[in-house]
Structure 1
């Protein structure tokens, strides 16, 4: 077994979301532990949310299962069922294809840390629950569109 030195795993910040949503992810960082370990079947990320930060837009995956386990702090998980407090040791699973958007918000005053484990499908569709946006991934290439298939553009701007 190859032990990872977390101090040598690059810290990933920022977001793949287009404006104005990318800016909403400030305060979120992650370590891609699965990638650092050379895993190819599934991803393992150690996510840190600073106070006030959110993990993502509320979303669901068409083909990838996702599993989350809290390892430090306390945050709020928001799904279609409402809000639930997540504490150290709490876990949540999000089966592929279940259209129940989820995300996590740190409303506390200390950092929150959790592990995210998910499949690494070559093709995936991620639908945002509260925003008119869909991410389609094909062989690692990401394309954002509106839910009706139009190319992505911020609200109020026209294509062309």
Structure 2
């Protein structure tokens, strides 16, 4: 395949999250390099976060591995174990099935960019660590549920670990 023209890559803004979480993704965009190349087995994106923006809700994947490399700016990686500053050249990876909710936050006053690569499993479940929500993907369609599997009908509180709701 010839060299990719990054400016030709589709750009996605916002999120497929339901309200009110979709609105929290303002200032996030991703350049879909894998789509540009016609890749089907894994996704490759360059995500840009404007100052104050977040990449996602904190989440972890049941069936998909994920890898991120900071390209520009400074980001804060937020995981179950805490927070860590990430600068150009720093990378992180998350193995499928390991319940370590993670996300990037841009707390700086300049845009930041990171490369993210993830496998594209035929079926996937991502669990959101700080809200009672999961996304189930099958057949190219997404369905949101609560963490107990019941149909999602709007935000509800999540019980702290070790407690039940």
TM-score range, shorter chain: over 0.9
SS for the counterpart of 2:57 is coil
Matched, 1:108 2:105: no
**CA separation in 2, counterparts of 1:155 and 1:86?**
31
Q: Deviations over 1:45-90 (max 9, x none)?
A: 0000000000000000000000000000001000011000000000
4+ long deviations beyond 2 Å: none
SS for the counterpart of 1:23 is helix
SS for the counterpart of 1:78 is strand
**CA separation in 2, counterparts of 1:33 and 1:39?**
9
Alignment length, in residue pairs? Answer: 156
Q: What is the deviation of 1:9?
A: 1.4
SS for the counterpart of 1:35 is helix
Residue 124 of structure 2 is matched in structure 1 by 124
Residue 135 of structure 1 is matched in structure 2 by 135
Q: Deviations over 1:94-153 (max 9, x none)?
A: 000000000000000000100000001110000000100000000111000011122112
**CA separation in 2, counterparts of 1:64 and 1:52?**
27
SS for the counterpart of 2:24 is helix
Q: What is the deviation of 1:7?
A: 1.4
Residue 160 of structure 2 is matched in structure 1 by none
TM-score, with length taken from structure 1: 0.95
TM-score, with length taken from structure 2: 0.92
Unaligned runs of 5+ in 2: 157-165
Q: Deviations over 1:10-58 (max 9, x none)?
A: 2110100000000000100001101101111111000000000000000
| 8 Å CA contact retained: 1:59, 1:127 | yes
Matched, 1:148 2:148: yes
